[in-house]
Each structure stands twice: as structure tokens, then as C-alpha cells.
Amino acid sequence: MTSLPPNLKRIVDKFKRHTNPKQRYEQLLWYGKKLSELPEEVKIPENKVHGCVSQVYIIAQLNEDKIIYQGDSDAQLVKGLVALLIEGLNGLTPAEILQVTPDFIQETGLDVSLTPSRANGFYNIFQLMKKKALQLTMDN
């Protein structure tokens, strides 16, 4: 496993401290509450995460070679997953983001707590974030 970016590692470590699935969910909900809402005009098909039961949108922009993500979901737990990924990946270069593999979710212990459709949604959110990172490198 590749080493995680510092912010993502800190989040993983935070979740590792919670052995109880309920505490992990509460932690996830807490992340979701920190997420600011996305304006309606960016909730377009290109920003929508496909293969997710809930409505999830991710936008990304390049700021001095670092990617800044924003996202939102209509489901609280999924919103927490979005927030976790945003906090973990924001401020990295596209190359750094492309090196991150989704297996860190197992380290958080969340993979066992997530329903198959939520786990699948998590991977789809993560893949869209990587795709947007790649697109931003090609646009420049």
C-alpha cells in the first residue's frame, strides 16, 4: 500500500481509534455536517457521481497546481464520505491524487460498516474525484 497523504492519514487514524461501528458512523456524520452546500448551478450531469443510490455531486478546480474539491450529497452518511474524501484530498497535486488507492477505506474500518451500495458509492465518488484530477491536468 502506498503511503497516504498527511490529511488522509490523519482521517484514517481518527477512524481507527473508533472500534465501535456506531462511533464510526457518528464520525462520518460529523464530517458531513462540515460540508457546505453546493450551488444548484453546478449540480449538472458532468459533476454527478454515477452508480450512487443518492444524489452526489463533486466539482474540482486547480489552484496553483493544487486541486480543491467541493461536493454534496442528499444522504447524510454519503455526505460524510464525500467530506472525508474532500478533506483528505484537498490541496494535493493531481499527480498525488492519482497515486492514492481506495484501499485506505479498509483501514478506517468503515468498509465493514457500509452497505454494499454505499461502499460502491464510495468507490464511484473516489473514481470521479480522480477523473476530475486527471481532466484538470490535461486542460493545463
pLDDT-based confidence at residue 2 (cuts at 50, 70, 90): low
Show the cell assigned to 63.
Answer: 489552484
pLDDT for position 1: 47
pLDDT-based confidence at residue 63 (cuts at 50, 70, 90): very high
Provide CB contacts within 8 A for 79, sequence distance 6+: 31, 32, 35, 72, 73
With 70 as the cut, is the pLDDT of residue 140 above it? no
Residue from 35, 52, 77, 110 carrying the catalytic annotation: 52
Domains with residue ranges and CATH for the chain: 6-139 (3.90.1010.10)
Provide CB contacts within 8 A for 106, sequence distance 6+: none
pLDDT for position 23: 92
In the annotation, is 127 catalytic? no
Instruction: Please tell me the pTM assigned to this model.
Output: 0.93
Range in 1-15, 32-46, 79-93, 124-138 with the lowest mean pLDDT:
1-15
Q: CA 92 to CA 117: how far, in whole Å?
A: 28
**Beta-bridge mates of residue 57:** 48, 72
Report which residue type is found at 89: L
